[in-house]
Amino acid sequence: MDYEATGQAALAEIAGAQDLDALEGLRVALLGKRGSISGLLKMLGTMTPEQRQSEGPLIHSLRETVTVALAARKTELDEAALAARLAGEWLDLSLPAPETPRGTIHPVSQVMDELAEIFADLGFAVASGPEIEDDWHNFSALNMPESHPARAMHDTFYFPDRDAPDSHGNTREMLLRTHTSPVQIRTMLAEGAPLRVIAPGRVYRSDSDATHTPMFHQVEGLVIDRGIHLGHLKWTLETVLKAFFERDDIVLRLRPSYFPFTEPSVEVDTGYSWVDGRRVVGGSGDAPGHAWMELLGSGMVNAHVLRAGGLDPDEWQGFAFGVGVDRLAMLKYGMNDLRAFFDGDARWLAHYGFSALDVPTLSGGVGTPV
């Protein structure tokens, strides 16, 4: 057999392949399981030793030559295809740059990210719970009696004819949660103690004016451990607010108050002053030109709430606090009407929104509006 002529014919066919599909067909025809050159290799087993010694190198050389030719032609075809694609895909660099995307991050989303970053640095995890709650988690487990005014229809959005049976077969009224405090109960029941969590999310109350909306955002904080006291609560709040407002002169005042789910309970005030027509948090409220402003509610977790969460109050203590995310955003970024948060006005969002690339970090500053 004239192996040289066979090789020349194969090389001519390979050089004439116009695309990758045709080249692949040639590869299969020559080197595939039933290809012509593969058939020659199989014939070596039927040859005499003398024939194998003389014809074996020629057949292997033929296979090697064809293999190299196939690879080279494939590279040529790939480069030609890339050149053709690049010729059709071009960019005129003399054109004006495209307009910067207008979308911005809503201040509430930004502030939630800022708070999550700050609390994560203090070792807090993020917990969540359903927005459609039952009255046991939302009220009863938080030590709110049946006669508590917060249960009234004029404050709470109840679902008509929506009762859910519990594990004991009792029915519970369903409602839109009025605070994120039910997450306390669910987290204690699910994870036990010790705990260090925050619970940000939407809450609902029947109220609407310049500083209240039917739906708003709240972040709840909960710490459960042994030997916890009010000093831990005050230090945590001071540390968080200093990082959030990016000021070291944050001064807090704790006033005795009452919440069913904490005992003792304290309202937390912060000092502020008026600068350019808006409140600026910082300094003592007793300093000249300053005043006190109520910021959030907090206290030591009530023993009844600990029991509802499956914990022994003789062994575990804890503190909890809740603050409105929308209100924090208003104070930090100078907004004066809460209703604008939900109007969907693109001009308001363009003015108060944040760049999508402005990810809050403690090292770089937790918030700078666009």
Give yes or no: residues 146 and 217 share one domain.
Answer: yes
Per-residue confidence (pLDDT) for residue 118, from 0 to 100: 92
User: 123: alpha, beta or left, given left = phi > 0 and alpha = psi -120 to 50?
Assistant: left
**pLDDT exceeds cutoff 80 at 193:** yes
Find the mean pLDDT for residues 69-77.
89
Token pair belonging to 146: 């049946």
Q: What proportion of the chain, given as a percentage, has pLDDT over 70?
A: 89
Rg, the chain, Cα only: 36
Q: Are strands 195-204 and 252-259 parallel, antiparallel or unpaired?
A: unpaired
Per-residue confidence (pLDDT) for residue 159, from 0 to 100: 84
Give the count of domains, the chain: 2
d(CA 213, CA 341): 10
Flag whether 145 is in a domain.
yes
Give yes or no: residues 125 and 67 share one domain.
Answer: no
Give yes or no: residues 194 and 300 share one domain.
Answer: yes
Angle among Cα 25, 30, 34 to the nearest 5 degrees reads 95
C-alpha dist (Å) from residue 41 to 34, 37, 70: 11, 6, 18
Amino acid at 162: R
Flag whether 75 is in a domain.
yes
Give yes or no: residues 71 and 129 share one domain.
Answer: no
Flag whether 252 is in a domain.
yes
d(CA 178, CA 352): 27
Amino acid at 11: L
Flag whether 360 is in a domain.
no
CATH of the domain at 117: 3.30.930.10
Flag whether 94 is in a domain.
no
pLDDT digits (tens, 9 = 90+) for 257-266: 999 899 999 9
d(CA 313, CA 321): 18
* 19: containing domain: 3-88
pLDDT digits (tens, 9 = 90+) for 274-327: 888 788 888 898 899 899 999 999 999 999 999 999 999 999 999 999 998 988
Give yes or no: residues 120 and 55 share one domain.
Answer: no
Q: Are strands 132-134 and 171-176 parallel, antiparallel or unpaired?
A: antiparallel
pLDDT digits (tens, 9 = 90+) for 149-190: 766 655 788 887 656 565 555 677 888 998 999 999 999 999
Flag whether 362 is in a domain.
no
Give yes or no: residues 278 and 226 share one domain.
Answer: yes
Give yes or no: residues 234 and 282 share one domain.
Answer: yes
Give yes or no: residues 158 and 302 share one domain.
Answer: yes
d(CA 271, CA 283): 5
d(CA 152, CA 154): 5
Give yes or no: residues 39 and 137 share one domain.
Answer: no
d(CA 118, CA 126): 12
Give yes or no: residues 157 and 298 share one domain.
Answer: yes
Find the mean pLDDT for residues 229-253.
92
Per-residue confidence (pLDDT) for residue 369, from 0 to 100: 44
For the chain, percent helix, then strand, then coil, each to nearest 5? 40, 25, 35
